[in-house]
Structure 1
């Protein structure tokens, strides 16, 4: 049985990062950020969308279900599928890795 997101759970949000420049660099690359689940839909969605409060070094921001449809869950995939540095799509959430 897989984990189900519930209000108050800590997850990781993957930022989008800035567009890639012609030389292949980015001003701000995609990064994992700590986030708290603030809402879950009444009916589960195929991509497990949730509302999040994201904690960024520049300050907190949110992605509520009511405003922008929330944030979809992503599954890990090989780095070469998405490019460096993360194996998760920008604008998605995932469970923290076990270390």
Structure 2
């Protein structure tokens, strides 16, 4: 059964992480963060606006700024700035 995003649903947002240093390390790597869907693109339901909850604060990614796109790649291969459904526990 395929899920459909709607306002108020909890999803995971993949953070971008900090830039990679010349030695290949990062201060903060990409990570999944809790997010709440704030709006859904009626023309493309895989694109949503999100309110992202981070340990250091909240960030907003509205549709007006491009929103976030669903990434169904396996964990570890998802693009920063994307969202996906939480894994089943």
Q: Given the two structures, how large is their TM-score scaled by the length of structure 1?
A: 0.83
Match of 1:75 in 2: 72
Q: Which has the higher helix share?
A: 1
Which of the pair is proportionally richer in strand? 2
The offset of 1:41, in angstroms, is 1.5
Residue of structure 2 in register with 1:26 after alignment:
26
Kindly state the Cα deviation for residue 75 of structure 1 after the two structures are TM-superposed.
1.0
* Deviation for aligned residue 1:29: 0.6
1:33-71 Cα shifts (integer Å, max 9, x gaps): 0000000012225xx1100000011101100002x1100
Unaligned runs of 5+ in 1: 80-85
For residues 4 and 44 of structure 1, what CA distance do their matches in structure 2 show? 11
Runs ≥4 residues deviating over 4 A: none
User: 1:88 Cα deviation (Å)?
Assistant: 1.1
The equivalent of 2:80 in structure 1 is 90
Determine the C-alpha separation between the residues in 1 that align with 2:36 and 2:80. 17
CA separation in 2, counterparts of 1:23 and 1:42?
43
Secondary structure of the 1:7 match is coil
